Amino acid sequence: MSELADRIAGLSPAKQALLRLRLQRQESVSAKFRDIPRRGDVGPHSLAFAQQRLWFLEQLEPASPLYNVHAAFRVQGALDAAALQTALDGLVARHEALRTTFAAPDGQPVQVVGAPRPVPLAVVDLTAHPEPEREAACQRCLAAEIRRPFDLTRDLMLRALLVRLGADEHVLLVAKHHIASDGWSTGVLWRELSRLYAAAVAGRPPDLPALPIQYADYAIWQRQWLQGDVLAAQLAYWRDRLAGAPAHLELPTDRPRPAVQTTRGAHRGRTLPPALRAALEALGRQAGATLFMTLLAAFQTLLARYTGQEDIVVGSPIAGRTRVETEGLIGFFVNTLVLRTDLAGNPPFRELLGRVREGCLGAYAHQELPFEKLVEELQPARTLSQSPLFQVMFILQNAPRTPLALPGLTLTPFRVESGTAKFELSLAVTATETGLQTTAEYNADLFDAATIDRLLGHYQTLLEGIVAAPDRPIGALPLLTAAERHQLLVAWNATATAYPRDCRVHELFEAQVARTPEAVAVVWADQTLSYGELNRRANQLAHHLQHLGVGPETLVGLCLERSPELVVGLLGILKAGGAYVPLDPTYPRDRLAFMLEDSRAAVLLTQTRLLAGLPAHDAHVVCLDTAGAALAPESPENPPCVGTADTLAYVLYTSGSTGQPKGVAMPHRPLVNLISWQASESRLSRGARTLQFSPLSFDVSFQELLTTWCAGGTVVLITEDVRRDPARLLHLVADAQVSRAFLPPTALHMLAEAFQNS
């Protein structure tokens, strides 16, 4: 077996499939287009499709740094700046793309290849700065340089900045425009810059092989080849593949999407261990899939879990160098594939990986269609707030990187943030000797850094779960990190705190009465009740109820309209040791009848005007609006506490929407816990006013009343008519100087509308 055959046999099934696809593409190219010829004139010439799209984007947002591509290195040793200049100039002389400018004489863009000229190499000397300040000053210089836009009509597409930090220490920044370069080009640039610099230092000619073609030759060939049957076949595949695809991926964001998409970006990263990479590669081999396919399937699973969508579309770059003549060129060849995956049915991950594999192989077989032609053909719904077809990018960088190596010098990467993002989110995974490095570039106007950190953590947890159980349904795979699980299950449940566990609700109220007896406890229209007065009236009622047999576990109906009698009745029942049962007078008679019968209320507190509307019942009736004579002889002092903290405080009935209403019984202890917690969290100031909005039959009413009183605040009572009229309620809130309200969203919305209309 030949060496080539041995190498092919050693490839994974997925890589063998990719090789077959590439060979089939080459065989399908007609003889006319099998070779890319050199052009016979100097131009100008049409742009390649990828260039054209980037040129149009530049016209929409001129002077933008979004498509600046940069890399920086710390250089230690005796750097020869003249040799560096010679090497940079040699790159521009060798690669026409770097000295190509763009014009639009008739509104249509063309590329014009210029003569070789010196590369701008600015030198900034920071050695005069105090040493502790040099790094910060260097960062500022680099940040300003990478944000400086290229002028496509006249600039070289390559420039450099050299920052001198010391005699033998520099930082070198090389910046390019994306219209003349891509990721593959960067490897070509470093390799050739290394050899050109070495030759210049040694004083000898560079030994680089001649280039078979230039980028403009490729652009002409691409436009001639991609038409007719070739174009039709490509378009047919992608039309079918993307038919009915969702227009947007509804990622949850930290802030609303602006009306016009912004490009302010940032980066976050995370390192994954080597063992995880090895396990993922092994899983992929079992399924005949590449590492890219496995990581993509996991990422699309993560997006599905985040969005709740089952049809996930992401973009992914592909080198676009399907012709051998292009492999040594610097230029913009990269294409973007739209990778769509159906995650419906909650499949096991192994099954999903098969779906992703088939989708990727189909996309690779039809990769020659430029993304810009695809957008032009599909004409997806466009908005200024999101990019078309996809908003999230996925990238795997697993090809060996060519480092910049200059003889006699030590170079280490120097990170500089560009501050830009092309998409809402781009996840790049770099395969390294130490495992996998995940880097997320994100739109900082949509996401916080902490959100992206969580996403990267969830991705790692998901990958670990996948290799541990690849046959588990994707919806059951873990997402939460160990820290998040601890936070949810342990930290957030460590809620034990000191509070008066053996106290009853009304005892908290009585303690506040002792502190502020003259403070206003209740406001009702133009009437007020002080804490002392409210307590005395409630005490008299409590003694009276005890004489009627009310004590621990005795249920007392409370059917009153909103009024001071309502709150006196509630407190009086609690002080007597009983539990109140709210009976809303607006309820239908049959509902009230059921609640009275089911609760077996021994006593019913009500008002004379409501008697005619009440159903028949066996409870002893006390009309608080006419009970003054009966209550007057009773003691105004606090009755002795009866019962315990586990004695019932109230019974609230559910709405009964799924059948008969059900009584929910609540003892004092959890209510005291609630009051104590809310007092510590809200820090309600003494005298602050709370609106009593909720009906007594809703548990929120308890918070409105008791948490206010136990903090020394004032409860503002309102009539039912005012409660249902947003305009009147708004005026009352202002006139009564209400500072706190518990409102359901619908009421808040109506109140906001009333405010706008006023």
DSSP 473: B
Share of residues in the chain with pLDDT > 70 (%)? 95
**CB proximity list for 79: less than 8 A, separation 6 or greater:** 162, 168, 170, 172, 406, 409
| Residue of higher predicted confidence among 12 and 159 | 159
Tokens of 361: 């192989």
Using 50, 70 and 90 to split pLDDT, how confident is the model at 28?
A: low
Note the pLDDT of residue 258.
94
Q: What CATH architecture is 505-757? A: 3-Layer(aba) Sandwich (3.40)
User: Does the structure show a pLDDT above 90 at 757?
Assistant: no
The terminus-to-terminus CA distance of the chain in angstroms comes to 89
Determine phi and psi for 650, rounding to 5 degrees. Answer: -155, 165
Tokens of 746: 């619908």
Note the pLDDT of residue 540.
98
**Would you say 333 and 184 are in contact if contact means Cβ atoms under 8 Å apart?**
yes
Note the pLDDT of residue 33.
54
What is the average per-residue pLDDT within 325-342? 97
Using 50, 70 and 90 to split pLDDT, how confident is the model at 751?
A: confident
Query: What is the C-alpha to C-alpha distance for residues 746 and 752, in angstroms, rounded to an integer?
Result: 10
CATH class of 226-401+416-490: alpha beta
Query: What is the C-alpha to C-alpha distance for residues 352 and 470, in angstroms, rounded to an integer?
Result: 10
User: Does the structure show a pLDDT above 50 at 562?
Assistant: yes
Using 50, 70 and 90 to split pLDDT, how confident is the model at 10?
A: low
User: Does the structure show a pLDDT above 50 at 688?
Assistant: yes
**Would you say 645 and 503 are in contact if contact means Cβ atoms under 8 Å apart?**
yes
Cα dist. 193→150, 186, 196 in Å? 21, 10, 5
Among residues 261, 94, 70, the alpha carbon closest in space to that of 178 is found at: 70
Same fold? 37-213, 505-757: no
CATH fit for domain 37-213, picks 3.40.1280.10, 3.30.70.270, 2.40.110.10, 3.30.559.10:
3.30.559.10
| Type of residue at 183 | G
**CB proximity list for 685: less than 8 A, separation 6 or greater:** 711, 713
Cα dist. 538→108, 487, 542, 570, 635 in Å? 87, 45, 6, 8, 10
User: Does the structure show a pLDDT above 80 at 683?
Assistant: no
Using 50, 70 and 90 to split pLDDT, how confident is the model at 42?
A: confident
Query: What is the C-alpha to C-alpha distance for residues 362 and 23, in angstroms, rounded to an integer?
Result: 15
| Residue of higher predicted confidence among 24 and 237 | 237
What is the average per-residue pLDDT within 576-592? 95
Tokens of 430: 């770099």
What is the average per-residue pLDDT within 159-180? 98
**CB proximity list for 482: less than 8 A, separation 6 or greater:** none
pLDDT digits (tens, 9 = 90+) for 69-104: 999 999 999 999 999 999 999 999 999 999 999 999
Query: Order of strands, edge to edge, in the sheet holding 520-524?
Result: 527-530, 520-524, 714-717, 689-692, 740-741
Determine phi and psi for 275, rounding to 5 degrees. Answer: -60, -35
What is the average per-residue pLDDT within 479-495? 93
Query: What is the C-alpha to C-alpha distance for residues 567 and 528, in angstroms, rounded to an integer?
Result: 13
Domain ranges of the chain: 37-213, 226-401+416-490, 505-757
Query: What is the C-alpha to C-alpha distance for residues 169 and 163, in angstroms, rounded to an integer?
Result: 9
What is the average per-residue pLDDT within 537-543? 98
User: Does the structure show a pLDDT above 60 at 5?
Assistant: no
3-state secondary structure of 101: strand
Supply the pTM of this predicted model.
Answer: 0.75
Least trusted range by pLDDT, from 360-374, 400-414, 422-436, 672-686:
672-686
Averaged confidence pLDDT in the chain: 93
User: Does the structure show a pLDDT above 80 at 746?
Assistant: yes
**Would you say 169 and 74 are in contact if contact means Cβ atoms under 8 Å apart?**
yes
User: Does the structure show a pLDDT above 60 at 1?
Assistant: no
Determine phi and psi for 508, rounding to 5 degrees. Answer: -65, -40
User: Does the structure show a pLDDT above 70 at 15?
Assistant: no
pLDDT digits (tens, 9 = 90+) for 504-534: 999 999 999 999 999 999 999 989 999 999 9
Backbone angle region of 409, left / alpha / beta, with phi > 0 → left and psi within -120 to 50 → alpha? beta
User: Does the structure show a pLDDT above 90 at 336?
Assistant: yes
What is the average per-residue pLDDT within 27-32? 49
Neighbours of 122 (CB within 10 A): 12
**CB proximity list for 288: less than 8 A, separation 6 or greater:** 12, 13, 14, 17, 357
What is the average per-residue pLDDT within 713-718? 95
